[in-house]
Amino acid sequence: MKGNAKHYDKLREYLETVPLVDCHDHTISCGPKYADPINVVVSGYFVSDLHSASCDSEIKIIQNSKLSVEERWPVLEKAWKRSCHTGYGQVTKLVLKKFYGEDKLTLDALKRMESNLLNLEEEKTFEDILNQANIAVRLENIYHHEDFGASIKAILDGSGKLSPRARLVIPLPCFHGALNLNYGLVQNIASSVDKTVTSLDEYLNVCREIFEGYKRFDAVAFKDQSGYTRSLEYGNPTRAEAEKVFNWFMSDPRRSVSYPDGVKDLDDYLFHEFMRMARDMDLPVQIHTGHMAGIRNDIVKTNAVGLRSVIELHPDVRFDLFHANWPYSGELLFMGKNYPNVTIDFCWANIIDPIYCQNIFRQALSSVPHGKIHGYGSDFSGQADRAWAHASIARDNIAIALSDMVEMEYLSFDEAKQVGYDWLFGNANKFFRLNL
Ligand SMILES: [Zn+2]
């Protein structure tokens, strides 16, 4: 992408030199090793746009690596022609051009790619790409659902190896509901600190011990994406109401409460307790708002305005609202402007919808204090190739927005450079206390 404003080129060139704080990512380890050229095209989020542009049966064919490239190509080509201009499509095009020298997605291009597919399991290749994107540090939101307790233990005893440039965030949803809290999960979580839990008090103590362990291991924030499965409108139930739910399933290991309604009082109560711990530990809380990965989810439940009560009840907790609350830009600007304890985070959003971000970057400059904006977060699992493309698009979006504002004589070119630096690096460095 390119801006039309007079100062665009110079500003874009400058932003290339600004290191990035990658405010949100899910890389457990370096990878993948691509085995199939179609996988290069459809991995990451773009599969959702292909799905949206085709149908359930066709997306299965596109993703079936047991079929040959030739067998899948006609189905992929049809969906590609209907979806290639989205932000995710732009990521794919940038990856094809940069890492494979291909200008267009064709069957011939896919055949040529087969012989030189990226192996991102090689740490050197992975790091090289992070260097090219000038990514200085990455806030990693990682967890294993299969044995959550074991994955916590690996963090706390230092045996789990982190991916390059990672700083951990504490994955909150698993502790208060999203994994369907029951006797088994409570004891699995407790096993990570060699404890058994018999009451709500003991469970809260276990959680606090785990979170403090993460902090000793340099965790810089909490992260919560419960919006995938529940409304962000947390109630404020009493301890007795929460304890009733907890005691009911703990008194019989075979019981499970229905999700989300049956567990809601406990889920809401624990969430508020965790906010108090975040306050006491002085760690910010990153919250998923707006659009969700995949398709056919319900956007109403994830609008950031649903968090009003949480944000007002916990004025000493710093909330970092994710994904620019796409597509609810007005509500997001209000939250950023209205609450001292709210910052706006554009992680993932820059590729969900580049034009939305360019518009909101412009509007945020005129409405939200510019020290409260975090401009980039790659939000992939591995896939440094896509993180590189995403970084390029984020820099384009910010350069386009700010150079437009310079053209309007809203601010000077030097001021725009400073804002760009703060949005990509300075603000997040201070907010997460990264000391870079
Ligand atoms: Zn994410």
**How many A from CA of 401 to the centre of ligand 1?**
25
Backbone φ, ψ for residue 287 (5° rounding): -125, 130
Residues near 278 by Cβ (< 8 Å), separated by ≥ 6? 222, 284, 285, 317
Is residue 132 within 8 A of residue 94, CB to CB? The reply is no
pLDDT for residue 260 = 80
pLDDT for residue 179 = 60
**How many A from CA of 10 to the centre of ligand 1?**
32
**How many A from CA of 323 to the centre of ligand 1?**
9
Distance, CA of 112 to CA of 103 (rounded, Å): 12
The reply to whether 328 and 396 lie within a common domain is: yes
**How many A from CA of 396 to the centre of ligand 1?**
21
**Which pLDDT tens digit goes with each residue over 247-261?**
999 999 999 898 888
The reply to whether 88 and 100 lie within a common domain is: yes
Position 151 in a domain: no
The reply to whether 76 and 27 lie within a common domain is: no
Q: What is the mean pLDDT of residues 161-166?
A: 96
The reply to whether 5 and 62 lie within a common domain is: no
The reply to whether 47 and 67 lie within a common domain is: yes
The reply to whether 57 and 14 lie within a common domain is: no
Distances (CA, A) of 194 to 66, 179, 205, 259, 274: 43, 20, 13, 28, 21
Average pLDDT, whole number, for the chain?
96
Last residue of a domain, one of 69, 101, 116: 116
Q: How many residues does the chain have?
A: 436
Distances (CA, A) of 338 to 131, 147, 258, 369: 37, 41, 36, 10
**How many A from CA of 414 to the centre of ligand 1?**
33
The reply to whether 333 and 422 lie within a common domain is: yes
Is residue 46 within 8 A of residue 393, CB to CB? The reply is no
Number of domains within the chain: 2
The reply to whether 404 and 388 lie within a common domain is: yes
Distance, CA of 402 to CA of 400 (rounded, Å): 6
Three-state SS annotation for 158-220: CCCCCCCCEEEEEECHHHHCCCCCCHHHHHHHHHCCCCCCCCHHHHHHHHHHHHHHHHHCCCC
pLDDT at 178 over 70: no
- Within its chain, how far is the Cα of 202 from the centroid? 31
3-state secondary structure of 138: strand
Distance, CA of 358 to CA of 417 (rounded, Å): 16
Distance, CA of 326 to CA of 331 (rounded, Å): 10
- Within its chain, how far is the Cα of 185 from the centroid? 24
**How many A from CA of 379 to the centre of ligand 1?**
5
294: left (phi over 0), alpha (psi -120 to 50) or beta: left
**How many A from CA of 347 to the centre of ligand 1?**
8
The reply to whether 26 and 57 lie within a common domain is: no
Residues near 81 by Cβ (< 8 Å), separated by ≥ 6? none
Pick from 134, 5, 4, 118: which is nearest to 413 by CA? 5
State the pLDDT confidence band at 127, using cuts at 50, 70 and 90: very high
End-to-end CA distance of the chain: 30
Q: What is the mean pLDDT of residues 52-67?
A: 97
Position 194 in a domain: no
Position 88 in a domain: yes
**How many A from CA of 42 to the centre of ligand 1?**
18
The reply to whether 65 and 19 lie within a common domain is: no
Q: What is the mean pLDDT of residues 167-188?
A: 89
Q: What is the mean pLDDT of residues 51-79?
A: 97
Distance, CA of 299 to CA of 326 (rounded, Å): 9
- Tokens (6 digits) for 198: 């018999």
Last residue of a domain, one of 99, 116, 133: 116
**How many A from CA of 25 to the centre of ligand 1?**
6
**How many A from CA of 139 to the centre of ligand 1?**
10
Distance, CA of 352 to CA of 339 (rounded, Å): 25
pLDDT for residue 168 = 96
Please report where in the chains the tokens 């979170």 appear, as a residue: 211
pLDDT for residue 261 = 85
**How many A from CA of 293 to the centre of ligand 1?**
8
Distance, CA of 419 to CA of 353 (rounded, Å): 21
**How many A from CA of 39 to the centre of ligand 1?**
20
Residue range of the domain that includes 99: 34-116
Q: What is the mean pLDDT of residues 302-321?
A: 98
- Tokens (6 digits) for 226: 């419960």
State the pLDDT confidence band at 146, using cuts at 50, 70 and 90: confident
Distance, CA of 266 to CA of 255 (rounded, Å): 15
pLDDT at 174 over 90: no
**How many A from CA of 187 to the centre of ligand 1?**
27
Q: Sheet containing 20-25: give its strands across.
A: 20-25, 135-140, 166-171, 221-224, 285-287, 319-321, 342-345, 373-374
The model scores a pTM over 0.85: yes
Is residue 344 within 8 A of residue 324, CB to CB? The reply is yes
The reply to whether 10 and 112 lie within a common domain is: no
**How many A from CA of 295 to the centre of ligand 1?**
15
Please report where in the chains the tokens 């706390």 appear, as a residue: 156
Position 430 in a domain: yes
**Which pLDDT tens digit goes with each residue over 97-125?**
999 999 999 999 999 999 999 999 999 99
pLDDT for residue 258 = 87
Position 277 in a domain: no
The reply to whether 346 and 395 lie within a common domain is: yes
